[in-house]
Chains A and B, each alone.
Chain A
Amino acid sequence: MLCETPTLFFNQAGHKDVFSEMAQTALEPKNYSGLQARRQALDAYWQQGVGGNALLRKHSDFIDHHLAESFKKSAPAAEGFALVALGGYGRQELYPFSDIDLMILYDPAHKDELNSLVETILYPLWDTGLEVGHAVRTPDECMAFAAEDFFFRVAMLDARLLVGSATLFGKLTEMYKKAYIEGRRQEFLDDMLKQRTKRESQYGRHTYLLEPHIKEGCGGFRDIQSMVWTAHVVFGLKDLESLNEAGLLSQEELNRFEQAQDYLIRIRNRLHYVSGRKNDQLFFEHQKELAQAFGFTNKEELLGVEHFMREVYTHMQTISVTTDLFFEHVEEVLKGEESSKKGKVLEPDIEVKHGRIHLVNSEHLKEKPKLFMRLFYQSAKTGKPLHFRTRKAITAKLHHIDDKQRHSRRNAKLFLEILLSAKPFSVLEDMLDTGFLTSYIPELAKVESLAQHDVYHVFTVDRHLVQTINELEKLREEEVNIYTVISSPHILFLAGLLHDVGKGHGHGHAERGADLARQVGVRLNLKTDELDTLDFLVRNHLFLSHTALRRDLEDEEFLMRCATRIHSPGLLAMLYLLTIADARATGPTVWNDWKAALLLELYLKIVLLLDRKDISEQEQTRSAELGARWIREKVYELLPEPDDIDFDLYSDDYLLSFPPEVIAEHITQAKKLKKQEVLFSHKPNKESWSILVMTKDRPGLLTRIFGVLALHNLNVLAAKIFTWADGTVVDTIEVSSAISESYDGQDWTAMGNELHLAIQQRLGLEFRLSRKLAPLRNKPQGVQQRLAAKVKIDNRASELYSVIEVFSEDRIGILYDITKTLSDFGISIYRARISSKADQIVDVFYVLDHDGKKIEDPAFTNELQQGLLYAVKNV
């Protein structure tokens, strides 16, 4: 801060104060005159809980003290020299690893003494490895340098005399004031704003970046200082208090601002210690440690670090918004716009003046709360921003937005029109910054300043949502062809704004978000089909990006399913644009050309299917029919007495699953079933066997087969389960030995016998298994963490059947347990796909209940789920 009268901070009495204060602390190092001890002393204070401003001050005092000693030792002519602290050191704000900005001011008449003084002062500083910014100048040299260097001009604002000639220092400050402050208010402001813009382009316009820079970043210390400097130069106000007294900050704004400042100071202190160097960026790897230090612990729904970062962002946001408003105010004052004539009236209470939307009387917000939305609407319609005083008024009167406003049809209509205006992004950003958005849509309050602790999400959730609108705004121009397909674009923008509204409660944010979005949609008076579209978009907003990366884009059948699920080109276009906007608004690592190409490929494949869906469906069926017919012909050729065979017994599905030779073999074998109840054969493959079991269908058959396999230490790798129309079961099961991969002592004869017995219900499978298998349970090696078992029951995947998916850790006998449970519930298995990957199984069963119906009763579904979970966990 510029000193009107040079502060002789370091008089003799000052020394004593510092000394006596220090003597009270137990961990006080005995000899702190050396700079080496400085760190220890500071650490000691830190350990004792001295933080925030107090620590900065102590640090600064240490250095002051040391420099005064050195100055005394050198004993130069008193009137010829002055030691001046600049910048942060001038403000007495020294963080643990801050630079020490020092200037030796001298009278050219005493130049001969200069060398020895410089040596005594600077050498010890250098020796201790402190970062010292130093300069040796006469007052005239200072002025010459100030003329060319903006940073020095600003640093001079905080100049503080440490020791030496007050006259010399006074001379410099007088010259400085005359040249750069008096009558230079506009120039100063212009410089300041230019620097601010430069910082914004370098460090980002946002306070909510993944790794915020708390000094230079938006909402950081530089913003605070710029405001204080400008207030000083333009209005002659020296601190935040006087800003409040002058009416530039309300008491409430001041309190919040000071709180935020204090919080950032504590963080910066800790950050320097944690990093062990001058580091002002809150790097990802430090965030957890700091969160812990500030006492944040992990909660079920929110990590401690996310909670901590949420506070950081909130405080930086406070600083950013306050300084933004301040600078707009200053600009206006200097332009003399305040006093100018009346503006153009847009509607009662709202006018436009100097390119900004004004609320004529802020008290009217209370009586006419519809003005809130009208203001934003006018801003969107005219493309002109709200005046800062109007924004402040909105924030101050938010409590007048009640349920009546939130349910108002008129507001809803205006809100949707804003979403469809030419530049909805800037209006929504204003809505968010003023707090209006979360007041109007309270569902969004839950994601306000919510950080996500991972390397992908650069923005907090609320920013990300508004940023998505920004991207949609751009995509509207970039992808005109696709955008024009969309019949209800307002729903797309609304989905963009709401797609992550379900975040902050753990998994399943898309589903939760869809429900919340629907709730908002109802208040906005959307029609049923619009609500369904909104719900669909939010619920599936991750579908395309997941699919593009994880599925085979040449799998026609899968693409058909996508097409069926999305069913209209308009909906697909919305989902596609939402996916791109979402990814781009997430962060730079999420979106690139590579992903864009994959997503485009998926989009085009689905859209082409949708556009000629009818033809394509026919083609699909026809090719399947053709395939099955071809196989029938082949099988016919292969069989010795083909005319006896009724080909209607075999479904297309079955025919398409095996080569013709194998089917011919099945048919030939089946004849033996007239004499024999069970047919069993095995064929060795590389490290596994294919087992074929044929018999007449009966309840619990699969359970018994799997039970016998488990008894013989066989793991099921895959299985194809088919039933012909005459009730003949054809089960092909791929198995491997649970003992070792190359085990060759398998007793197939014994197994065949036991299979017969088991199928005829003459084998005590349950007791044999429990006795024999206990020691042989196939425990996965080296897997410490147990995979969570999961059971999903889906009635939408297939038209005819309920599809049960079981995910679990693999172990021998698990299929026996699963199928037994199904059979206990009276459930019939029509088809099954068994696969095990590493130590995990993913088993899919196409089933119907004992009445031959899908499983739809919620209570029964739940019971079945629990039963299956118990079965797979039952070790």
Chain B
Amino acid sequence: MKKIEAIIKPFKLDDVKEALNDMGIKGMTISEVKGYGRQKGHKEIYRGAEYIVDFIPKVKMEIIVDASQVDEVIETIIQAAKTGKIGDGKIFVLPVDEVVRVRTGEKGVEAI
């Protein structure tokens, strides 16, 4: 099992969610995060006041899937989240040792 963490642009959340639903991904965790990568923060000056945007708002999605699904999920996220401009985001894949469903105690792929 793997955990896929995707950092995407906030306005792409619905598209990505829908695309993942369509391919049968049933659950995910979403959080509002801030950060920067190559799309560095920037400074705007308006009427003499400086507005510094050092961390840029993004959405982080976390999805746990069976290892066999990883490529498909990644492809789906890229398709849905891509605008072709800087700041489209990143995808990380991490190993997951175990998944347990709290209600039933089920383990492994069954519990995803």
A residues neighboring B (CB under 8 Å): 481-482, 485, 549-554, 592-595, 597-598, 600-601, 604, 607-608, 611, 837-838
Contacts and interface: CB of A to CB of B under 8 A. Distances in A.
B44 A594 contact: no
B51 A485 contact: no
Contacts of B47: 481-482, 485
Given A481-B49, A595-B32, A597-B55, 16 more contacts: A481-B47, A481-B48, A485-B47, A549-B10, A549-B11, A551-B11, A554-B85, A592-B32, A594-B33, A595-B57, A597-B57, A598-B10, A600-B53, A604-B51, A608-B46, A838-B21
Q: Enumerate the 6 nearest inter-chain pairs by beta-carbon distance, A residue then B residue, closest first.
A: A594-B32, A481-B49, A604-B44, A597-B57, A598-B57, A594-B57
A154 B51 CA distance: 54
A353 B87 CA distance: 62
A596 B49 CA distance: 17
A611 to B, nearest CB: 8
A740 to B, nearest CB: 16
Contacts of A485: 47
Given A481-B47, A594-B34, A597-B34, A552 B11 contact: yes
A550 B59 CA distance: 12
B44 A837 contact: no
Interface of B: 9-11, 14, 18, 21-22, 32-34, 44, 46-49, 51, 53, 55-57, 83, 85, 87
B46 A481 contact: yes
Nearest to A549: B10
A481 B83 CA distance: 34
21 contacts: A481-B46, A481-B48, A485-B47, A549-B11, A550-B14, A551-B11, A594-B32, A594-B33, A594-B34, A594-B57, A595-B32, A597-B34, A597-B57, A598-B10, A600-B53, A601-B53, A601-B57, A604-B46, A607-B46, A837-B18, A838-B21
Given A485-B47, A604-B51, A608-B44, A597 B56 contact: yes
Nearest to A611: B46
Contact of B11 (A553, A595, A607, A608): A553
Nearest to A599: B57
Given A607-B46, A608-B46, A600 B51 contact: yes
A608 B11 CA distance: 21
A837 B79 CA distance: 13
Nearest to A551: B11
A840 to B, nearest CB: 10
A571 to B, nearest CB: 16
B9 A552 contact: yes
Contact of B22 (A482, A550, A608, A838): A838
Nearest to A600: B51
Contact of A593 (B14, B34, B87): B34
A594 B18 CA distance: 23
A554 B14 CA distance: 17
Contacts of B57: 594-595, 597-598, 601
A551 B44 CA distance: 20
A597 B56 CA distance: 7
Contacts of A482: 47
A627 to B, nearest CB: 16
A554 B9 CA distance: 11
A838 B34 contact: no
User: Which of B9, B33, B55, B57 is the most central at the interface, judged by chain A CB atoms within 10 Å of its CB?
Assistant: B57
B37 to A, nearest CB: 15
A673 B55 CA distance: 57
B53 A597 contact: yes
Nearest to B18: A838
A481 B32 CA distance: 28
Contacts of A611: 46
A552 B87 CA distance: 11
Nearest to A480: B49
Contacts of B33: 594
A593 to B, nearest CB: 7
A782 to B, nearest CB: 11
A596 to B, nearest CB: 9
A554 B83 contact: yes
Contacts of A593: 34
Contacts of B14: 550
A839 B87 CA distance: 30
Contact of A550 (B11, B21, B34, B49): B11
A547 to B, nearest CB: 9
A786 B11 CA distance: 26
A2 to B, nearest CB: 51
A695 B85 CA distance: 37
Contacts of B10: 549, 598
User: Which of B11, B22, B48 is the most central at the interface, judged by chain A CB atoms within 10 Å of its CB?
Assistant: B11
A594 B47 CA distance: 23
A601 B87 CA distance: 14
User: Which of B9, B18, B22, B44 is the most central at the interface, judged by chain A CB atoms within 10 Å of its CB?
Assistant: B44
Contacts of A592: 32
Contacts of A608: 44, 46
Contacts of A600: 51, 53
Contacts of B56: 597
B99 to A, nearest CB: 25
A547 B46 CA distance: 21
Contacts of B21: 838
Contacts of B51: 600, 604
A485 B47 CA distance: 9
Contacts of B34: 593-594, 597
Nearest to A481: B49
A592 B48 CA distance: 25
A604 B49 CA distance: 11
A242 to B, nearest CB: 56
Nearest to B86: A554
Contacts of A553: 11
B30 to A, nearest CB: 12
Contacts of A595: 32, 57
Contact of A552 (B32, B46, B53, B83): B83
A570 to B, nearest CB: 12
A835 to B, nearest CB: 12
A611 B48 CA distance: 13
Contacts of B11: 549-553
Contacts of B32: 592, 594-595
B86 to A, nearest CB: 9
Contacts of B87: 554
A594 B11 CA distance: 13
Contacts of B18: 837-838
Nearest to B15: A837
A634 B18 CA distance: 39
A608 B51 CA distance: 13
A554 B85 CA distance: 8
A593 B57 CA distance: 9
User: Which of B9, B32, B33, B85 is the most central at the interface, judged by chain A CB atoms within 10 Å of its CB?
Assistant: B32
A600 B42 CA distance: 12
Contacts of A601: 53, 57
A611 B87 CA distance: 26
A68 to B, nearest CB: 47
A684 B48 CA distance: 56
Contacts of A607: 46
